[in-house]
Amino acid sequence: MARYEFLTTWCLDAAIDDVFDVLHDSGGFPGWWKGVQSVEVLDPGDADGLGEVGRYSWRSVLPYTLAFESHVTRIERPHLIEAQAGGELEGTGTWRLFEGPGTAVIYTWNVRTTQAWMNVFGPLVRPAFAWNHDRVMRQGARGIAERLGTNLIAASS
């Protein structure tokens, strides 16, 4: 299996609670995040969303779609959402939010691919996968800023 570690930062001119609420509502991602084809919430989890299970389908510029399930394993409102992914990607994704004049969002995505073609060609296409991930995350940064009706101060991957 090919392993990938991605780190993304978004800085938004918005209140931390507002940013957290948008990120916490994963079923709403397709409405503002270009590249998210669908999210099906299979289990909403408890009242805080702990234990939520969702099925995600993502597609960006490269000609493939990734599908995986995500299981929310940790929530610390309004600072942290952590989930375990399984399916075509396996690993952990963690949203960390920091309050200041606005909100800084740091996303870590530590995953491995499970599809044979991705594992075979992984060493050759790793730069393209990284570029694609960066593009998807930048679309998310622009989308969340628009959804919140605020300014995106900075975004990097």
Q: Rounded CA gap, 37 and 66, in Å? A: 10
Q: Which percentage of the chain shows pLDDT scores above 70?
A: 97
Q: What is the per-residue pLDDT for 116?
A: 72
Task: State the pLDDT at residue 122.
Answer: 67
Q: Which residues of the chain have pLDDT under 70?
A: 117-119, 122
Q: What is the pLDDT of residues 87-120, one digit of tens each?
A: 999 999 999 999 999 999 999 999 988 877 666 7
* Domains present along the chain, CATH in parentheses: 3-156 (3.30.530.20)
Q: Is the dihedral of CA 55, 147, 135, 91 positive or negative?
A: negative
Residues 6+ apart with CB under 8 A from 120: none
Q: What are the tokens at 150?
A: 């605020």
